Chain A
Amino acid sequence: MRDLEKIKQVNSLVSKEPSGWKAKAEFRKANRKWLQRSAEISLKILDELRNQGISQAELARKMAVTPQHITKLVKGQENLTLETIGKIETALNINLIDVMRGKQGIETGFHALIDNATFSETLDLENKAEGDDNKIRPLLAATLSFTDEPKKKYYE
């Protein structure tokens, strides 16, 4: 049996300031899928920073972003754009996302073509691919998002 008078007495002590927990929990619930991916990516980044002996400050310089941006990024709370993912991949020379490969994706031979293509060649590939397979366009968009360097290591 609950002592309602006691509960009322304790409730009178409760701050009018709400706990910030609820808003954060609702946000996490509504955005769970990408937050999970963000966490996995941040763990990969932390591993690479350690393995390669790179500090967070150095990564910020390489990516031309603020140290605060890196702080958010390694906490797994950042809704990463493809541009940011691309910058991370270039800075750390790693692959973070690998979309539409294997049975559900594009043939390996097509990847090999892109891997060796320069920016202009890849653009040309995109034009040729148009209409062939609508899965290709987003892949190319991701590939082309930030650099005109050859993509030799993008899919490694």
Chain B
Amino acid sequence: MRNFVVELLKALMEVEELREIVPDYLLSAKFKGQEQDEFERLMIDWTDTEYLKDFFEKNSAKLFSGFFKEFKSVNQAVLFTMAEADRLSDLLLSCNEGKELSLDENFKPYHKTSTSIVREESKIYGPTKWGRRNSWLRVYAIRIDSNFYAISGGSIKLAKTTQEMDDYQENTQKFKVLADYIRSKGIECSDDYGYLDIE
């Protein structure tokens, strides 16, 4: 069943084009059928109170499981998310204005337990902390070269592990589709840039 879902997702997903987020540093995939590229789509969702309130209400069991002790209400989670999205945007805006960007230092492996092959799968963590809380915003990207990445999607990570996330299959598939797209254009890829080590 899982394989069927993965294949179906892959069949439905297709990269239409790449769009620039920070010149020479960061690109974003735009999938066919989507109005925006992935980064713009994420930023729209993450600054939309109605979307976020709905998301956190649907995921209230995870939000109030005890892991996120700082949050006493869905509304707090919404406002925190919006502030984090703004901070991430501000960081990338300042990079557009000439601030040096070291993405390599900010990207972390998609799977903590996996080996070197999954350097391809990375996520840029939110740039700030609220108290002692790391940002739960995840912008997934593929490493093309040193300090040069392409965004494939993103998520709000409330689960303890990436694999437990509701949109894990979808995001994993987006990695694959984007990697295939770049290769199909004759861009050389190292092993680091190869396949996903999902399990």
Contacts and interface: CB of A to CB of B under 8 A. Distances in A.
A18 B49 contact: no
B40 A75 contact: no
A74 interface: yes
Interface SS, A side:
helix
B50 A74 contact: yes
B60 interface: no
A65 B49 CA distance: 20
A61 interface: no
A106 interface: no
Contacts of A17: 17, 19
B148 A10 contact: yes
A15 B9 CA distance: 24
B47 A28 contact: yes
A75 B49 CA distance: 5
A13 interface: yes
Given A29-B90, A43-B75, A75-B49, A24 B43 contact: yes
Nearest to A19: B19
A22 B75 CA distance: 26
Interface in A1-38: 1-3, 6-7, 9-11, 13-15, 17-22, 24-26, 28-29, 32, 35-36
A120 B20 CA distance: 59
Contact of B24 (A7, A18, A39, A43): A7
B145 A21 contact: no
B37 A1 contact: no
Contacts of B39: 19, 21
Contacts of A47: 75
B185 interface: yes
B92 interface: yes
Contacts of B43: 21, 24-25
Interface string B57-95: 000000000000000000100110010001001101100
B11 interface: no
B145 A20 contact: no
B44 A24 contact: yes
A67 interface: no
B104 to A, nearest CB: 10
8 contacts: A14-B20, A15-B19, A18-B19, A21-B28, A21-B37, A25-B92, A36-B82, A75-B48
Interface of A: 1-3, 6-7, 9-11, 13-15, 17-22, 24-26, 28-29, 32, 35-36, 39-40, 42-43, 46-47, 74-77
Given A10-B148, A36-B79, A77-B48, 15 more contacts: A2-B145, A14-B18, A19-B28, A20-B36, A21-B39, A21-B40, A24-B43, A24-B44, A25-B93, A28-B86, A32-B86, A46-B49, A47-B75, A76-B82, A77-B47
Interface of B: 17-21, 24, 27-28, 30, 36-37, 39-40, 43-44, 47-51, 53, 75, 78-79, 82, 86, 89-90, 92-93, 96, 144-148, 150, 182, 185-188
Which 9 residue pairs are nearest across A and B when measured between Cβ atoms?
A76-B49, A25-B89, A21-B40, A15-B17, A19-B19, A42-B49, A74-B50, A2-B146, A43-B75
